[in-house]
Amino acid sequence: MNMIRTAMLLAVMTALFMGVGYLIGGTGGMMIAFVIAAAMNLFSYWNADKMVLRMHHAVEVDERNAPEYFGIVRDLAARAGLPMPRVYLIQNDQPNAFATGRNPQNAAVAATTGLLDRLSYEEVAGVMAHELAHVQNRDTLTMTITATLAGAISMLGNFALFFGGNRDNNNPFGFVGILVAMIVAPFAAMMVQMAISRTREYSADRRGAEICGNPLWLASALDKIARRAKKVVNQDAERNPATAHMFIINPLSGERMDNLFSTHPDTDNRIAALQAMAGEIRSTPEPQPREENHGPWGARTEAPESRPQPKSEPKSEPRWGRDANGRKGPWS
């Protein structure tokens, strides 16, 4: 059912793209727009994940240089029945995370150093479970391609004034068609893009809570991320605003209202939904504290002593990206 909805959404975006082409250049413009849309969809399908990771200067990590972080993702992927995704770390003080990839077999998850430094083990697990839920639901492909087409529609709208004004013979709607292409079509594309992102955040929150086993872990993480994200500017995200909807919390400044123009639902609403979910399952015993040789999802692969203890380290030092010799992750 999710694949059907995805196909329908992409069909709507492609049709909207072709419609803008028709408003600008008539039948010929529509055919050109169709070819461009098909090429963009194909390119995004194979390369969108690499593009997004490169935009945010993500560095791939493994069990040697980020054992705790990598272990969390591995345990959660096993709980969700997913293939192990590639794991990336972004050197950025804003706590945030996102997932990308065309399918579960080619997925990647990325978290910032700010998220790993400032959240607890359980909160990080809640966040990464949310991202794996996006992978499982195949949201990453849909949201990436939709964002690409929405940006292209906006670009065509900007070109309409320059390339449509002297081609009334090709443009059956004349100036009205150009005006629609400039204003209405990009606005409609933005609405579709935002609706896709916002709806799927609620779904990923719920599925992520099921994967990690406790909705309150994710609820606590969302509260911390939202408060900190308002104070820290994410320069890479500001330079690439089309990727903002992929993050668990909007990384851009100025997005605080739960309305049609925000890329994410209001954080308080998401937290309330998770708390309600926790209430629904309260009769089920809550996950017990980790025993000496067990994490929250079963046996650990490394001794607990290998995990840095948060109280014994300065806050400015990363707790999640070190190797066995204490060296800091990929930037050491």
What distances in angstroms separate CA 188 from CA 144, 159, 317, one per listed residue? 17, 17, 45
Cα–Cα distance measured from residue 298 to residue 291, given in angstroms and rounded to the nearest whole number: 10
**130: annotated binding-site residue?**
yes
Domain hosting 12: range is 2-282
In a domain, 13, yes or no: yes
Residue 331 lies in a domain: no
Q: Residue 125 is inside which H or E element, if any?
A: helix 121-136
């408060």: which residue's tokens?
227
3-state helix, strand, coil in the chain (%, to 5): 60, 5, 30
Percent of the chain having pLDDT more than 90? 40
> What was the pLDDT predicted at 225?
97
Q: Does 201 appear as a known binding residue?
A: yes
Residue 311 covered by a domain: no
pLDDT recorded at residue 72: 97
Strand, coil or helix: what is 292?
coil
| Domain presence at residue 79 | yes
Q: Are 298 and 288 a contacting pair, CB within 8 Å? A: no
Least reliable range by pLDDT among 21-30, 48-57, 195-204: 21-30
312 domain-assigned: no
Contacts of 217 (CB under 8 A, 6+ apart): 122, 123, 125, 126, 209
217: pLDDT strictly greater than 70: yes
Residue 289 lies in a domain: no
Q: Is 294 marked within a binding site?
A: no
Judge contact between 152 and 17, C-beta under 8 A: yes
Residue type, 184: V
Q: Which residue has the tokens 């800091």?
A: 328
- Domains held by the chain: number: 1
Which pTM value belongs to this model? 0.73
Structural domain includes residue 143: yes
Strands 108-112 and 86-90, sheet pairing: parallel
> Distance between CA 249 and CA 222 in Å, rounded?
7
| pLDDT score of 92 more than 60 | yes
Residue 318 has pLDDT above 60, yes or no: no
Q: How does pLDDT run across 107-163, given as a tens digit for each residue?
A: 999 999 999 999 999 999 999 999 999 999 888 877 767 666 666 676 666 666 565
Q: Which of 68, 131, 292, 317 is catalytic?
A: 131
| 298: in domain | no
131 catalytic residue (yes or no): yes
